[in-house]
Structure 1
Amino acid sequence: MKKISIKEIAHLSGVSVATVSRVINDNGRFSEETRKRVLEVIKETGYQMNYSAKSLRMNRSFSVGILVPDISNYFFSDVVQKIEEILFDKGYSTIICNTARNTDKEIAYLQMLESKIVDGLVIISGAEKFDSEKAHLNRATPYICIDREPIQHSDTVFISSNHYQGAFEATEELFKSGSKSPIIVHYDRESTSSTERKKGFRDALRKNNIIFNEQQHELVFNKEEITITKLLKQAFSINPEIDAIFAINDNIALDLLEILPTLKKPIPSKVKVIGFDNTPMARYCYPKLSSVKQNTKKIAEITVDTLIDKIEHPGKEIPPLNLVPVELVIRDSTKN
């Protein structure tokens, strides 16, 4: 098959070579009609750009590294997939690295990505907070932090769902549906998101004139040391009045839907349950699970737009924090 040139693309499109170049690089002035016509000709002819030459010319690799702590986690996988799709549409390839919440692995991947001269990084750290100095991150490489707050705010932009809002509204919903004694169940590991969710829960208790007490209102789950069933039995023995549970994520909430009826605590008549993340299973379990929905599409769009802005305009002042609102999705597990 004959290799087509940019001159032929220009001839078939009825525009100049310079215009074709501007459309390909998305840089400069051209009409939307011209852009569509040039891209249609490129698609029909199977024209392939010489990315090596383009990279050398612009001193860019047109690649972005993405670090994710747990690719099996619904929120992480969903937002990373959306980021990859948007970057691809903008002409960037991605290298996705799963760190398994291992600090050494996270640092090793960062060093590897920088050695490949990626143009930028999207970092979802497995640590409670991301430390760019501990990770020996090259300050010349722009990066964005998602969901895990950076220690060095001046180096990056932090993009996150409003976890506090989600937890507060979820707990408020439990009170509105008739709860008098809700509790929170969460893992023993700490993160920015879990800290904000716990704050939201506690402030909702305070608003409803309940003084937070760790023994009465909080269950800390360590998967290696205790089962949720045993934890719940202990909780009900300490506080028999428990009538609602805010699970810090849907994985815990789905376990509760299975376990509570075995403890003679039917849902929602005796105990109401609400989760966080609005995973697909929330719609298909029984009873259907109320949950907090994160706007992964918006997070992905802001992340890509901000990172490309940092790549193309180094030194530009960009607001260091962007909180994305969440949405409460009410289903059967909290209805009267």
Structure 2
Amino acid sequence: MGQKKISIREIAKLSGVSVATVSRVINNNGRFSEETRQRVLNVIHEQGYETNAIAKGLRMQKTNTIGIVVPDLNNSFFSDLVEKIESQFFTAGYSTIICDTARDAHKESIYLKMLESKLVDGIVVISGLSEFDSKQLSRRIPIVCIDRKPNAKDIFFIGSNHYKGAKLATEELIKSGTNPVILMGSRESTSSRDRLKGFKDTLIENGLNFDSGSIFQLTNQQDETIDGRRTAIRQLLRNKMMSGISPLGIFAVSDTLAADILFAAHSLYVSIPNDLKVIGFDDSPIARYCYPELTTIHQDTDTIAQDASTYLISAIQGDKVHTDSVKLVDVSLVKRNTV
């Protein structure tokens, strides 16, 4: 037979305290002695009492739930970051609802309304094509934006120093004897714009020309599938190699694109790093599985995950936090075998 359910009134009677005191102990709210707290908790444990989390959440307007909005979980960098963020919240006693928007603005809007209806305590928004608009939400919810600038000063922004990372990558390619080009995906974002600016400024600082030939950006159609990307990259490599450029240096704005470059190069029997030198960005898990292993820019996802979750939990708990500044996390060059 199942265990008989016990009420708060019965817990109070067995503990020798009032119903109000039991409620304060359960919700950790109000005044009571440590002795009283232990006596009530012992009875709760002995009787197997469980609170109704949904009802409690409605009463207190807190559900111990966090929404995480991410553009693409197929991207190894995003999936790695989400896993670390989820782990931070789990350790702190929060559950998470992970929403993969597939880089679709309409889908993102629907997910945000769903998270709001579920009374999540806070939301983490990761990357995106445009500024995050908090006006999509009808109530005030603590929000952290990672690598996506918000349109309001009361939203905390944290991200890697993408500008510095691009400069490190470009300088390394120049030092290795190349006049590098940058490979970009079809979708722009806060981070991709910063990486492009770092690339451009570094070329100019080193007396190299920056023009339309310095940038290769995939079209929406090319970027739609892996085969489409690799076909476009193969054509880029053919054109550059036929023009007599050797060695060719390419700064890819993500490790995923860099891996596509390596695959395309192998299919054309291009020698890496003799004839082609490649640097990616993210230091995602895929960088270690490439052949050769990928030289890339390391993003400190541990620090980003910890700082983002710490801030959000503090905001949820009502602590005074500063939101009017941008926190940039340092990056570094990881030298492997593609330069």
**TM beyond 0.5:** yes
2-structure distance, mates of 1:91, 1:277: 29
User: Which residue of 190, 196, 199 maps to 1:198?
Assistant: 196
1-structure distance, mates of 2:142, 2:187: 28
1:167-215 C-alpha deviation (Å, 9 max, x unpaired) = 1111112223x22311111112100111111111112212221121122
Q: Does residue 71 of the first structure (1) align with residue 73 of the second (2)?
A: yes
Aligned to 1:14: none
2-structure distance, mates of 1:219, 1:198: 11
Aligned to 1:121: 123
1:29-84 C-alpha deviation (Å, 9 max, x unpaired) = x9xxxxxxxx9xx9999885553464355331111111111111111111111111
Contact preservation (8 Å) 2:129, 2:187: no
State the TM-score, normalized to the length of structure 2: 0.80
2-structure distance, mates of 1:43, 1:277: 47
Letter in 1 for 2:218: F
User: Which residue of 243, 246, 252 maps to 2:257?
Assistant: 252
* Residue 120 of structure 1, CA deviation: 1.1
Cα separation, partners in 2 of 1:155 and 1:261, compared to 1, 3 Å: same
Say what the alpha-carbon RMSD is for the aligned residues.
Answer: 3.5
Q: Secondary structure at the match of 2:82?
A: helix
Cα separation, partners in 2 of 1:230 and 1:158, compared to 1, 3 Å: same
Aligned to 2:331: 326
Q: Secondary structure at the match of 2:157?
A: strand
Q: Secondary structure at the match of 1:202?
A: helix
Higher mean alpha-carbon deviation, 94-103 vs 309-318, is at 309-318
* Residue 284 of structure 1, CA deviation: 2.8
Q: Secondary structure at the match of 1:104?
A: helix
Name stretches of at least 5 consecutive residues in structure 1 with no aligned partner: 12-16, 31-38
Equivalenced residues, count: 314
Aligned to 2:142: 142
* Residue 308 of structure 1, CA deviation: 1.5
1-structure distance, mates of 2:274, 2:30: 60
* Residue 320 of structure 1, CA deviation: 3.3
Higher mean alpha-carbon deviation, 283-292 vs 109-118, is at 283-292
Q: Does residue 95 of the first structure (1) align with residue 97 of the second (2)?
A: yes
2-structure distance, mates of 1:239, 1:46: 77
* Residue 25 of structure 1, CA deviation: 5.6
User: Which residue of 280, 283, 286 maps to 1:281?
Assistant: 286
State the TM-score, normalized to the length of structure 1: 0.80
Cα separation, partners in 2 of 1:27 and 1:229, compared to 1, 3 Å: farther
Q: Does residue 303 of the first structure (1) align with residue 291 of the second (2)?
A: no
Q: Does residue 220 of the first structure (1) align with residue 217 of the second (2)?
A: yes
Letter in 1 for 2:173: L
Aligned to 2:18: none
Aligned to 1:171: 170
1:281-304 C-alpha deviation (Å, 9 max, x unpaired) = 322322111111211111111111
* Residue 241 of structure 1, CA deviation: 4.8
Q: Percent identity at matched positions? A: 45
1:70-119 C-alpha deviation (Å, 9 max, x unpaired) = 11111111111111111111111111111111111111111111111111
* Residue 280 of structure 1, CA deviation: 2.1
Q: Does residue 211 of the first structure (1) align with residue 209 of the second (2)?
A: yes
